[in-house]
Amino acid sequence: MELHVGVLAVALVLSTLLSPLLAFVPSVSEEWVPYLPKAEDVSLSVKVDGDVANVCVSIVFPSAGYRVSDWGEPTHVGNSYVVDVKIERWTGPSAQVITTLSHEYRIEKLRPGRYSFTFSVWGKPIKQISFQIEQQTPTTNTTIITIAAILSSITAYLAWKILHVYLSR
């Protein structure tokens, strides 16, 4: 019985002394792990302005324990653009509040045609959106400059003709 009491006493002393140190040891279960959102939690929208498309991605998370560690850069083959994003979930405690994260991708110098944008996470396609780039009509300034150039050419030709007629007399 004395041996058991001694062992219990030592265990009690050690647990009392070592307990505060355990606060500095991270729990194995608390870490960032890869996460794939559901398609219904991701929304994609596109705003086209001339030859530029701004693609907005919004992701709704069920708690604050999520992060986007890498929003990625769009890559393309032909008219298909793809972005691969890295999303992680915290396995430890987090605030139980619905959280939305958004990011915008600017795709420039697009030629007229139909395009697609695929949002992928950890290499897996989640959602896709299509958009159209229309043929650009000349702006008012372009039209005015074109008309001015034509009128300038006509004026120069007429001046040359008048001068030629005048000098031939």
What average pLDDT does range 122-143 have in this prediction?
A: 87
pLDDT tens column, 71-82: 999 999 999 999
Ranges assigned E (strand) in 1-156: 32-34, 42-49, 52-61, 66-70, 75-77, 80-90, 99-107, 113-121, 124-133
Q: In this predicted structure, what is the pLDDT of residue 107?
A: 99
The Cα angle at residue 38 between residues 34 and 40, in degrees rounded to 5:
150
Question: Is 87 in contact with 36 (CB distance < 8 Å)?
Answer: yes
67-76, 95-104, 142-151, 152-161: least confidently modelled range = 142-151
pLDDT at 138 over 90: no
pLDDT tens column, 116-131: 999 999 999 999 999 9
What average pLDDT does range 92-100 have in this prediction?
A: 98
Residue 17: CB atoms within 10 Å:
9
Residue 83: CB atoms within 10 Å:
20
Best CA proximity match to 53, nearest among 125, 116, 121: 116
Q: In this predicted structure, what is the pLDDT of residue 25?
A: 54
Q: In this predicted structure, what is the pLDDT of residue 135?
A: 93
Q: Tell me how far CA of residue 99 lies from CA of 67, 72, 73, 82, in angstroms.
A: 10, 20, 23, 24
How high is the mean pLDDT of the chain?
Answer: 87
The Cα angle at residue 44 between residues 43 and 46, in degrees rounded to 5:
150
Strands 80-90 and 113-121: parallel
Q: How many CA atoms lie within 13 A of 83 on its CB side?
A: 23
pLDDT tens column, 14-66: 566 555 545 555 556 899 999 999 999 999 999 999 999 999 999 999 999 99
What average pLDDT does range 108-123 have in this prediction?
A: 99
